[in-house]
Amino acid sequence: MAKWLIILGIIFILIGLAWPWLSKLGLGHLPGDIHIARKGFSFYFPLTTGIIISLVLSLLFWIFRK
């Protein structure tokens, strides 16, 4: 369990360091992401981005399980 927590922490650190480059990919502003803005209210739900991230993570987990 401790090994997985350390690996997860390292992954979060790497994502944090790579964030300036990752933000240029446009994730979070894809067609299909829901954004509702009204006076005094803003709602954002990254539906397409979530699906893409889920597919990539599922593929990575499937590859590393083999």
Q: What is the pLDDT of residue 64?
A: 81
Q: What is the pLDDT of residues 3-55, one digit of tens each?
A: 888 888 888 898 888 888 877 877 778 888 999 999 999 999 999 988 998 99
- Rounded CA-CA distance 44/29 in Å is 10
Q: What is the pLDDT of residue 11?
A: 86
Q: Which amino acid is at 36?
A: I
Q: What is the pLDDT of residue 42?
A: 93
Q: What is the pLDDT of residue 41?
A: 94
List, as one string, the DSSP characters of 4-60.
HHHHHHHHHHHHHHHHHHHGGGTTTSSTT-EEEEETTEEEEE-HHHHHHHHHHHHHH
- 25 versus 60: the higher-pLDDT residue is 60
Torsion of CA 15, 21, 23, 26, to 10 degrees: -120
